[in-house]
Amino acid sequence: SDIAGRAAKEDKIGNKEKALELYTKAAEIFLKAIKGDVLVTISTGDDEADDVGLVPTHAYAVLDAREINGLQLLQVKNPWSMKRWTGPYSHLDAINWTPELMSLLKYDRLQAIDNDDEIKNDTEKYSETRILLSKHIMTTWDIRDYITLHLYDNSEGKKVYYPDNPCKTLRFNAPPGISRYTIVVDIDQEVDKNPEMKSLEFTLKCYCESQFKLTEIQTNYPIEQQVDGKWTTQTAGGNPSKITYLNNPQYRLSITPPSCISPMEKIRIQLILKGPNEYAIHVKLVRGNAGDYTIVISTFEAGLVGDYVLTVASNDKFNLNSIPLEGAVSLYDKVYITYRCSDY
């Protein structure tokens, strides 16, 4: 069998000299295996395997190695429920399994006879879970793209929006009971250097000690409109403390009444602003008449020119129109706004 995912080294014991060489370093190898530093597997040929109940050429993982009174024993993982070890020190060997040896190894031979090797997880302890994301490299440009995964707890399995303080690991312990998590797949592409940038294919796998269900989250904002804009010397008005604040780009957002969907369902609006990562930027939504809002796009410092992308998304229809500079009106006397740098 093949052992994939790691760099492997193979030792074939074909003569006594090779067996002696391997024996001298076996203790070091098996110690690393017990500590989890390496994965050690053993296999044998057709004739030898049939004599002791092994599957020929199958890679059996070494779980433990012990030496007791000069007796060297290996414990290996047997995933084959239809075949079991029948050689020395098997569950059928009543001669070599002495009471002293069984006590030292905490082994019950009679209980092992009825053991079906089925893995059960009926305890209320946590379940270690690992999620593996694999990139599909189809072109040379794909090699230059970087991908990562983020896991969000306490999200109740709902869609989340990517902040700039991501989780650093995806190996976690799920508590007893039903847990819901949100997994975010992120990609950082060299857009400027790849004019023919396309979608990147990937595979997402999840491994868990308990049963789980992995599904794609449906978006809460199916209707989306994106606007590309620019701060110029005339429209880079800065933050609200500047007298030029109202010179910033403004947009009028008009939404339909909630009754158009359902009297009980609220209309949800999402605003996303992306700009140069060296700028502290902000998007402000100001309520006007019923169903009308004004969106103000600003940088903290006045006079900073550059491109931005405004995305407005909702669960219902809306209209978004740019407000000319001469049409901008005073929105409020004094506001306090927190600015943050963009990751755009």
Is residue 254 domain-shared with residue 227, that is, in the same domain? yes
Model pLDDT for residues 24-38, shown as the tens digit of each residue: 566 677 777 777 777
Is residue 163 domain-shared with residue 85, that is, in the same domain? no
Q: Which domain holds residue 91?
A: 16-113
Q: Are 170 and 151 in contact (CB under 8 A)?
A: yes
In a domain, 4, yes or no: no
In a domain, 119, yes or no: no
Q: Please tell me which of 27-31, 58-62, 132-136, 225-229 the model is most confident about, judged by mean pLDDT.
A: 225-229
Is residue 188 domain-shared with residue 240, that is, in the same domain? no
Confidence of residue 285 (pLDDT cuts 50, 70, 90): confident
d(CA 131, CA 167): 13
Q: Which of 82, 113, 144 is the last residue of a domain?
A: 113
Is residue 261 domain-shared with residue 325, that is, in the same domain? yes
Write the CATH number for 281.
Answer: 2.60.120.380
- Is the pLDDT at 165 greater than 50? The verdict is no
- Number of domains making up the chain: 3
In a domain, 10, yes or no: no
- Give residue 145's pLDDT: 61
Q: Which of 208, 241, 260 is the last residue of a domain?
A: 208
Arithmetic mean of pLDDT over the chain: 74
For 156, left (φ over 0), alpha (ψ -120 to 50), or beta? Answer: left
In a domain, 1, yes or no: no
Is residue 256 domain-shared with residue 320, that is, in the same domain? yes
In a domain, 277, yes or no: yes
Which of 34-43, 71-80, 193-202, 268-277 shows the lowest mean pLDDT across its residues? 193-202
- Give residue 16's pLDDT: 46
- Give residue 259's pLDDT: 47
What average pLDDT does the segment 246-255 reach? 91
More confident residue, 339 or 272: 272
Is residue 168 domain-shared with residue 137, that is, in the same domain? yes
What average pLDDT does the segment 286-306 reach? 87
> Is the pTM value of this prediction over 0.85?
no
Is residue 147 domain-shared with residue 187, that is, in the same domain? yes
- Is the pLDDT at 321 greater than 70? The verdict is yes
More confident residue, 72 or 120: 72
More confident residue, 100 or 1: 100
- Give residue 273's pLDDT: 92
Model pLDDT for residues 102-134, shown as the tens digit of each residue: 888 888 877 777 665 444 444 556 677 888 887
In a domain, 292, yes or no: yes
Is residue 56 domain-shared with residue 106, that is, in the same domain? yes
Is residue 253 domain-shared with residue 195, that is, in the same domain? no
Is residue 188 domain-shared with residue 250, that is, in the same domain? no
What average pLDDT does the segment 292-309 reach? 91
In a domain, 121, yes or no: no
Is residue 21 domain-shared with residue 98, that is, in the same domain? yes
- Give residue 320's pLDDT: 92
State both tokens at 113: 């006879």
In a domain, 203, yes or no: yes
Is residue 230 domain-shared with residue 325, that is, in the same domain? yes
